[in-house]
Amino acid sequence: MDFFAKFPSMSRGELRDFKKSVDGSFSEFTGEYGEAIEAFFDPLLWFLVWFEQLLLATPWPIILLIVGALAWAGSRSIKIATGAILAFIAIGYFGMWKDTMSTLAIVSVATLICISIGIPLGILMARSKYAQALVTPLLDIMQTIPAFVYLIPVVMLLGIGKVPGLIAVCIYALPPIVRLTNLGIRLVSKEALEAADAFGASYRQRLFGVQIPLALPNIFAGINQTIMMALSMVVIASMIGVAGLGVPVLRSISNQYLALGLLNGLAIVALAIIFDRVTQEYGKRLQKHRHGDHL
Partner 1 sequence: MSDIAISIKGLYQIFGKRPKKMLSYVKDGISKADLLEKHRHVLGLKDININIPAHKISVIMGLSGSGKSTLIRHINRLIEPTSGKIDVYGEDVLSMSKGELREFRRHKVSMVFQNFGLHVHKTVAENVAYGLVVQGIPLNKAKKNSRKWLERVGLEEFENCYTSRLSGGMQQRVGLARALATDADILLMDEAFSALDPLIRTDMQDILLKLQQELQKTIVFITHDLDEALYIGDSIAILRDGEVIQQGDPQEIILKPNDDYIVDFIQDINRGRVIRIRSIMIKGETVDGPNFNHNSVLEDVLPSIVKSENHKANVTNDSGDIIGSIDLKTVASAIARPAVEKSAETSYR
Residues that bind partner 1 (CB under 8 A): 191-192, 194-202, 205, 209-210, 213-214, 216, 288-295
Q: Tell me how far, at minimum, the Cβ of 119 lies from partner 1, in Å.
A: 17
Q: Tell me how far, at minimum, the Cβ of 209 lies from partner 1, in Å.
A: 7
Q: Tell me how far, at minimum, the Cβ of 109 lies from partner 1, in Å.
A: 30
Q: Tell me how far, at minimum, the Cβ of 199 lies from partner 1, in Å.
A: 5
State how far the Cα of 36 lies from the Cα of 15, in Å rounded to an integer: 32
Least Cα distance to 118 among 14, 188, 222 occurs for 222
State how far the Cα of 227 lies from the Cα of 172, in Å rounded to an integer: 11
State how far the Cα of 233 lies from the Cα of 205, in Å rounded to an integer: 38
State how far the Cα of 256 lies from the Cα of 246, in Å rounded to an integer: 15
Q: What are the Cα distances from residue 72, in Å, to 22, 88, 289?
A: 52, 15, 21
Q: How many CA atoms lie within 13 A of 7 on its CB side?
A: 2
Q: Tell me how far, at minimum, the Cβ of 180 lies from partner 1, in Å.
A: 17
How many C-beta atoms lie closer than 10 Å to residue 144's C-beta? Answer: 8
How many C-beta atoms lie closer than 10 Å to residue 231's C-beta? Answer: 24
